């Protein structure tokens, strides 16, 4: 079916950094056909030619914007003005003859979500229940359970749940999608994927940069809401979920929801930090206690994960830029019995999400030579090295899925609800953050939380 995609917020950072490139790649690879029409919306008084000039200023110089020339038109509109939606409707109708699907991407601040949804619905750009009309909402979806519920209640007046796509771009990353394949397509792993064999799970998303020029947004959010509520809890859900009945989005979401509803973080198991110098960043109040670092010890109270702690760590201005999931296995009792005088490592599986994309498995082997000595060895699968040509970016995958109406990698309302419940409970008792220069400043306190003392 032909498609018209309208992007609100087309002069924003997300369009410059991610969406323009993703659309170019999809067109180049013929993942979307030449009849695909894109309408780019913002308030600026541009012609389409001027809009291309604007994009040129912001996108990387090696990106070939000409690929979009036959498919893209710029439209000036104010998203707060209801009359402009009637104009937009005429524009969309002029782009394609029926039947066509009418898709919307809201790359705008969350405070506009409800106004845009209402404008779209009033102008009958999307009919409730008719899935040829669908709409993407960028994160964050609310700032608390209460606000997320309020937004969702409004949206559900205009659209059915299956027309609403809440994006978490982490889910579009190839190695995140690899988690289910690794777990359920490998007997060796799935048979040992429980407290019988696993001692602990760590999920780390560390950044070296500070908040840059996002001060206003970041200070009202903090690491707990910006990272844990979405990306890290989604990663936890994929690692901890039971096998879904099928790979349909409903079946996968059902299992993820159960995990999130059974995830508990006690207040004493949370550590918060703020990097030194944060208060001197642009638009940060001098008395801000917003956290830029979080460490949590979470419990997943399902039979599979009895007594297995899940350690979640995220922060800015840390010593490395890295996102990974580390599964630590228990030591095998035979190893100590049979090779008592040797040092053995416990098996460890590392799923590298970024910057390294791959899987590393630490195991014990016999040291080459005449001695009967055990040493450790690292099996290393580099996922990104296997790709030929274009490495699909998360946004490319998510846009493609949105266009073909596959919602598996988008977050359902029930997942949002369960994650906000975890965060709100912690935010209520948030202690003042520790000022840090490096992650080693947390070594003692994290070690205490890990040991439960
Ligand atoms: N940037 C990222 O890398 C990133 C990553 C993940 C999620 N997100 C999410 O994506 C969303 C957009 O972020 P962003 O960084 O792209 O925002 P941004 O750079 O501030 O851009 C906001 C866009 O909204 C438009 N806009 C604002 N008020 C408008 C109005 N009344 N009528 C029409 N257009 C209006 C602006 O157009 P004008 O030119 O007319 O002002 C601009 O195009 C946010 O929800 C953010 O949390 C962003």
Examine the domain organization and report whether 144 and 177 are in the same domain: no
Q: Choose one of 6, 7, 14 to mutate for the ligand 1 pocket test, by most ligand atoms within 8 angstroms of C-beta.
A: 14
Residue 388, pLDDT score: 61
If you measure from the C-alpha of residue 315 to the centroid of ligand 1, how many angstroms do you get, rounded to a whole number? 24
223 and 148 housed in the same domain: no
CATH of the domain at 59: 3.40.50.720
Cα separations in angstroms, 31 against 8, 19, 401: 22, 15, 11
Number of the ligand 1 atom closest to the C-alpha atom of 80: 31
CA-proximal residue: ligand 1, atom 36 (nearest): 9
pLDDT at 341: 85
Q: Which residues pair with 4 in a beta bridge?
A: 37, 102
Is 346 found in the same domain as 275? yes
User: Which tokens is 223 given?
Assistant: 């690491």
Same domain, 188 and 154: no
Q: Mark residue 105 as left, alpha or beta (left: phi above 0; alpha: psi -120 to 50; beta: remaining).
A: beta
Residues 281 and 357 in one domain: yes
Give the number of domains in the chain: 2
Distance CA 445, CA 294 (A): 12
| Entry pTM | 0.94
Tokens of 57: 């200023």
Quick one: pLDDT at residue 11? 97
Instruction: Enumerate residues lining ligand 1, CB below 6 A.
Output: 9-14, 17, 42-44, 78-80, 107-110, 138-139
Query: Among the atoms of ligand 1, which is closest to the Cα of residue 9?
Result: 43
**pLDDT at position 61:** 85
What is the Cα–Cα distance from 76 to 47, expressed in whole angstroms? 8
The CATH number assigned to the domain holding 402 equals 3.30.360.10
CA of 108 relative to ligand 1 center, distance in Å: 4
Same domain, 283 and 357: yes
Output the CA 193–ligand 1 centroid distance in Å.
41
Last residue of a domain, one of 127, 147, 166: 166
Low-confidence ranges of the chain (pLDDT < 70): 388-392
Q: How far is the CA of 224 from the centre of ligand 1 (A)?
A: 22
Q: With H, G, I as helix, E, B as strand and everything else as coil, classify residue 50.
A: helix
Instruction: Write down which residue in 166, 201, 220 finishes a domain.
Output: 166
Counting ligand 1 atoms within 8 A of each CB, the residue from 6, 7, 9, 59 with the most, and so the one to mutate, is: 9
Do 71 and 180 sit in the same domain of this protein?
no
The closest-lying atom of ligand 1 relative to the alpha carbon of residue 167 is 7
C-alpha dist (Å) from residue 250 to 17, 136, 154, 232: 31, 18, 23, 21
Distance CA 22, CA 399 (A): 8
Q: Are residues 94 and 176 in the same domain?
A: no
Angle at 334 (CA atoms; ends 328, 337), nearest 5 degrees: 120
Instruction: In the chain, count H helices and then E strands.
Output: 15, 16
Residues 271 and 325 in one domain: yes
Q: Which domain holds residue 441?
A: 171-451
Predicted pLDDT at 99: 82
252 and 122 co-located in one domain: no
Residue by residue, DSSP assigns 242-308 as PPPSSSSHHHHHHHHHHHHHTEE--GGGEEEEEETTGGGSTT--TT----SEEEEEEEE-SGGGTT-
Contacts of 265 (CB under 8 A, 6+ apart): 296, 297, 298, 299, 422, 425, 426
206 and 344 belong to one structural domain: yes
Same structural domain, 143 and 202: no
By annotation, the residues acting in catalysis are 231
């Amino acid at each position: 079916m032909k498609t018209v995609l309208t992007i609100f917020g087309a002069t924003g950072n997300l369009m410059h950094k991610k969406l323009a490139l993703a659309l170019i790649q999809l067109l180049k690879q013929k993942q979307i056909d030449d009849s695909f029409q894109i309408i780019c919306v913002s308030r600026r008084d541009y012609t389409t030619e001027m809009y291309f000039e604007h994009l040129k200023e912001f996108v990387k110089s090696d990106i070939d914007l000409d690929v979009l020339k036959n498919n893209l038109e710029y439209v000036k509109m104010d998203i707060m003005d209801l009359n402009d939606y009637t104009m937009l409707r005429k524009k969309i109708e002029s782009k394609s003859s029926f039947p066509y699907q009418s898709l919307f991407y809201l790359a705008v601040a969350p405070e506009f979500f409800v106004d845009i949804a209402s404008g779209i619905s009033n102008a009958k750009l999307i009919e409730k229940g008719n899935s040829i009309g669908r709409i993407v909402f960028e994160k964050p979806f609310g700032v608390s359970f209460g606000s997320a519920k309020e937004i969702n209640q409004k949206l559900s007046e205009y659209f059915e749940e299956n027309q609403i796509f809440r994006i978490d771009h982490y889910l579009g990353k190839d190695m995140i999608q690899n988690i289910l394949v690794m777990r359920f397509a490998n007997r060796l792993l799935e048979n040992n994927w429980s407290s019988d064999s696993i001692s602990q799970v760590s999920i780390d998303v560390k950044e070296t940069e500070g908040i840059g020029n996002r001060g206003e947004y970041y200070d009202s959010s903090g690491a707990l809401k910006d990272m844990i509520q979405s990306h890290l809890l989604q990663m936890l859900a994929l690692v901890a979920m039971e096998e879904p009945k099928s790979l349909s989005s409903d079946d996968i979401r059902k299992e993820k929801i159960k995990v999130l509803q059974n995830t508990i973080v006690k207040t004493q198991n949370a550590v918060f930090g703020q990097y030194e110098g944060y208060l001197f960043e642009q638009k940060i109040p001098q008395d801000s206690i917003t956290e830029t670092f979080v460490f949590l010890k979470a419990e997943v109270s399902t039979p599979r994960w009895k007594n297995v702690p899940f350690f979640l760590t995220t922060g800015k201005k840390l010593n490395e830029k890295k996102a990974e999931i580390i599964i630590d296995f228990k030591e095998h009792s035979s190893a100590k019995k049979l090779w008592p005088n040797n040092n053995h490592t416990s098996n460890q599986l590392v799923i590298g999400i970024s910057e390294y994309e791959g899987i590393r498995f630490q195991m014990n082997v016999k040291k080459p030579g005449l001695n009967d000595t055990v040493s450790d060895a690292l099996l290393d699968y580099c996922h990104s090295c296997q790709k030929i040509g274009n490495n699909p970016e998360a946004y490319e995958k998510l846009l493609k899925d949105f266009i073909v109406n596959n919602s598996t990698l988008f977050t359902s309302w029930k997942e949002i609800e369960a994650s906000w419940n975890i965060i709100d409970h912690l935010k209520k008792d948030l202690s003042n953050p520790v000022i840090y220069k490096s992650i080693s400043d947390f070594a003692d306190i994290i070690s205490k939380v890990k040991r439960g003392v």
